[in-house]
């Protein structure tokens, strides 16, 4: 009787099979890093598609392997969306990140300065406009922003000097109504506004028609006389009367 003997595998074959099986079971093959494709973000920015920008550029920003230049573009694109959505703090944070990556971009400083100005932080806004000009002396928008803000700060400084003060000298008043105005900051500011707007409308009226200017001056004198005479009466509301007079003057100014 013939006996069939099965050929035994060689040791090398057994080891190779074991290695192949083990590698497939444990997944230890070297991982291939995914490619960071900036195209979706760039395309979304070009299309001004805010939702796509938030998704595609956000993914690019969050990927640690994104190239520096691509990350900057994505941050600037997303900051623009945050600005349009009036999420100013988040837009500023994205511009902060850009500045850390590249401190030479004048546009970024100017844009961040505009956001600081909207939040009311004029000091930081002025510093950013100045930084933009230093990086690009010919940057017209930054120079305009800087100049406008300086003028605004000068106006605010002038207003602060007379804030809560009326148009007249409180040290010399005798009438009870004038003393009441001096004692109340709201009334004092109203009086100053009334006087300023009245002077403006009279000046404009005189420029085109002298009698009209005289009529406006007489109207203001009549208001002051009525105010003085009515003050202290039970049914007289000084604050209400002064607000009504300011509204009347503002309406005249708008109509000119």
CATH number of the domain residue 124 falls in? 1.25.40
Flag whether 9 is in a domain.
Answer: no
What is residue 209's predicted lDDT score, i.e. its pLDDT? 74
Q: Of 132, 162, 192, which closes a domain?
A: 162
Clarify whether residues 150 and 214 are in a common domain: no
pLDDT in tens, 101-128: 999 999 999 999 999 999 999 999 999 9
Say whether both 136 and 186 belong to one domain: no
Q: What is the pTM of this model?
A: 0.54
pLDDT, tens only, 51-71: 999 999 999 999 999 999 999
CA separation (Å) from 209 to 145, 203, 215, 223?
37, 10, 10, 22
At which of 101, 118, 136 does a domain end? 101
Based on the fold, state whether residues 177 and 217 are members of the same structural domain: yes
Residues 178 and 250 in one domain: yes
Determine the average pLDDT of the residues in 167-186: 94
Q: Is residue 49 part of a domain?
A: yes
Neighbouring C-alpha atoms within 13 Å toward the C-beta of 228: 10
More confident residue, 105 or 15: 105
Tell me, yes or no, whether 183 and 251 share the same domain: yes
Asked, for residue 28, whether it belongs to a domain, the answer is no
Same domain? 148 vs 217: no
Residue 59, domain member (yes or no): yes
Pair (158, 188) in one structural domain: no
Domain of 52 in residue numbering reads as 38-101
Is 33 within the bounds of a domain? no
Residue 139 to residue 37: CA distance in whole angstroms: 32
Q: Are residues 209 and 155 in the same domain?
A: no
Question: Do 95 and 79 form a contact (C-beta atoms < 8 A)?
Answer: yes
224 belongs to a structural domain: yes
Last residue of a domain, one of 61, 82, 101: 101
Task: Work out how many domains the chain is built from and give that number.
Answer: 3
Domain presence at residue 125: yes
Alpha-carbon distance of 222 to 232, in angstroms, equals 18
The answer as to whether 10 is a domain residue is: no
């Amino acid at each position: 009787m013939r006996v069939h003997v099965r050929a035994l595998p060689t040791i090398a074959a057994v080891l190779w099979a074991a290695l192949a099986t083990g590698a497939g079971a444990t997944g230890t093959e070297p991982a291939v890093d995914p490619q960071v494709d900036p195209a979706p973000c760039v395309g979304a920015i070009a299309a001004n598609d805010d939702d796509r920008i938030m998704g595609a550029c956000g993914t690019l920003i969050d990927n640690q392997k994104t190239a520096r230049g691509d990350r900057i573009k994505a941050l600037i694109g997303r900051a623009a969306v945050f600005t349009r959505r009036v999420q100013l703090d988040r837009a500023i944070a994205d511009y902060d990140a850009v500045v850390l990556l590249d401190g030479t971009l004048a546009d970024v400083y100017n844009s961040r300065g505009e956001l600081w100005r909207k939040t009311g932080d004029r000091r930081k806004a002025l510093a950013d406009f100045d930084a933009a000009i230093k990086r690009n002396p010919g940057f017209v928008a930054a120079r305009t922003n800087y100049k406008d803000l300086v003028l605004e700060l000068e106006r605010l400084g002038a207003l602060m000097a007379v804030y809560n003060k009326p148009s007249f000298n409180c040290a010399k008043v005798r009438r009870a109504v004038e003393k009441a105005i001096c004692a109340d900051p709201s009334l004092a500011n109203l009086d100053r506004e009334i006087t300023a707007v009245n002077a403006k409308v009279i000046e404009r009226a005189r420029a085109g028609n002298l009698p009209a200017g005289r009529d406006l001056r007489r109207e203001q004198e009549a208001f002051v006389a009525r105010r003085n005479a009515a003050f202290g009466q039970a049914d007289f509301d000084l604050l209400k009367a002064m607000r009504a007079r300011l509204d009347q003057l503002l309406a005249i100014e708008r109509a000119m």
